[in-house]
Amino acid sequence: MAKTLVILNPVSGNGRAEKRWSQIAAALRGGGLNFDLARTTAPRAGVSIAEQAKRDGYETLIAVGGDGTTNEVANGLLRASQGEPAGTLGVIPVGSGNDFTKMLSGLPQPGSPELTWRESIPRLLAATTRWVDVGRVRADSPAPGFDAAAHYYVNGLDTGFGAIVAMHAHGIPLLQGTAMYLAAVLKTLIKYSVPRVKIEIDEDPIEQPSTMIAVGNGRCIGGGFWITPTARNDDGLLDVMIAEGLGRVGILSLLPKVMKGTHLGDPRVAFKQGVRIAIESPDPLIIETDGEIPFIGAHRVEIELLPKRLRVIV
């Protein structure tokens, strides 16, 4: 394997990444991998570490953490690549949510076992790669530390109810994965509003109140919500799910279907595909990407698919 940097987020998974690090390092070195190590020390630090590492000649960057850490490392790689195909990204999943890794080795279905950090090690050592698509997001009103002109995501984007849930999930201690997001769902149900939106998918406009819009590159978000269950991250298309404006009862009745990926035929949701998506609303929108909140209070969001832009170890 080429010159390798491991980027460890020690607080990922409520500190699980740091607790597991000695075992992870021993497994990597025991498999013959020579690597350097960088620890993140603040939110978004992984972006600048990864960007500089790529410029310094590191070809392979391994993210140790969850989807947020993976997002940061991918953003750094993509920024350093200046529009050219970027790579190579490896992931050791030890975060609160590990949805991106579900898509690395195939097309998982609801109920598929989650890739563990131990299972990820031989994959990284084998260094088999494939190219995946990436979503690029532009919007007004970026959150601190985020770039309004060029933010990337590798798994999923959503706005509306799901984005508010993700924002609340960041403040829930101790819980991880699906349990953490379900607790955040209950908190969000106490108070939320349904924005009126205009959605353009490859210039085909839709206007309606919408509880949630998801633009998936992967199939699963939130540790166990199969929001775009037929998406592929290498097919050159983004999968868009648009939910009607739903009340609390409607959301609660739809939720079990989303967790099983069986909402495809539900008349309350529509599914589309495209490569350029724009979302506008007179109401301020929260945008979630890969578990992060890059935009708060946005009124126009533009999403573009970048085909085969990132090389990942599978």
pLDDT for the residue 1: 52
pLDDT tens for 33-51 read: 999 999 999 999 999 999 9
Identify the structural domains of the chain with CATH numbers, from first to last: 4-132 (3.40.50.10330), 136-307 (2.60.200.40)
Q: What residue ranges of the chain have pLDDT lower than 50?
A: none
Residue whose token pair is 């090389």: 311
pLDDT for the residue 150: 86
Residue whose token pair is 């409520």: 14
What pTM does this model have?
0.94
